[in-house]
A = this chain, B = another copy of it.
Amino acid sequence: MSDSAKISAADPSTRPIPVLEVFGPTIQGEGMSIGRKTMFVRTAGCDYRCSWCDSKFTWDGSAKDEIRMLSAAEIVEELFALGGNTFDHVTISGGNPLLLPQMSFLVQQLHDHGIRTAVETQGSRWQDWLVRIDEVTLSPKPPSSGMETDFEVLDSIVARLLEASGRRDICIKIVIFDEEDLNYARDVHKRYPDVPFILQTGNPQVSHESEDHVSSLLHRYEWLIDRLSELPDLKDARALPQLHTLVWGNKRGV
């Protein structure tokens, strides 16, 4: 056994994290910090199988050769190699990063570097490190995803986040494809009235990106604005598109 392997076995902070992508700086394209400059770390693995998942490669095996097992320190090193001194914010995304207890070491190291952290999860699993995240987005999945929400788990996650000491921003963000999704969202908002609430335009998985895709997304967004406008039970809500899909969908089509 080599010296480094001995250290690794003794030190849980080197427990590897399955990583699919480290990229940025770019902007957060959606949700409460929409437009915010950030770096992304995308972990592999998800306990859901959403019909319209836009990152199926994180769990369907198609990118399994690209998964790298990295320590928290290696991820931080890669973030700084890419972003230099231009960033102060990292978004952890998946898949579902909440499958990984060892993310706590990454969160700790990012904070040690003075970096603000954001996480998005469907809210199906708890990890203690979640309370140390500065911006937590819970995105329970509506009926169009084909998934079912375990509201007991979600209730407990929301309660723990709201009760935890320290300052953090939290929001619930729900992707909306149709009226059924909207009804689901209204129920969720009624269940957690104190959590800032965002409706997000659904992004259908089309095979080729084009101007038509942008136009179709904008029309979907317009529909969502119209519906939001007329609903008395959604007063204090936001409706947002995914900006990265508009911009880079647009680009790929040109």
Where the two chains meet, the residues of A that have a C-beta atom closer than 8 Å to any C-beta of B are 24-27, 33-37, 84-89, 116, 198, 211, 214-215, 218-219, 221-222, 225, 228-232, 234-241, 243, 246-248, 250-251, 254
Contacts and interface: CB of A to CB of B under 8 A. Distances in A.
Contacts of A237: 36-37
A235 B34 contact: no
B218 A215 contact: no
B26 A225 contact: yes
A159 to B, nearest CB: 24
Question: Which of A26, A214, A232, A235 lies at the interface centre, i.e. has the most chain B CB atoms within 10 A of its CB?
Answer: A235
Nearest to A244: B225
B35 A230 contact: no
A135 to B, nearest CB: 13
17 contacts: A25-B228, A25-B230, A26-B225, A35-B198, A36-B238, A37-B228, A37-B229, A37-B234, A37-B235, A84-B232, A86-B229, A86-B231, A116-B236, A211-B215, A218-B247, A218-B250, A222-B251
Contacts of A88: 235-236
Contacts of A218: 214, 246-247, 250-251
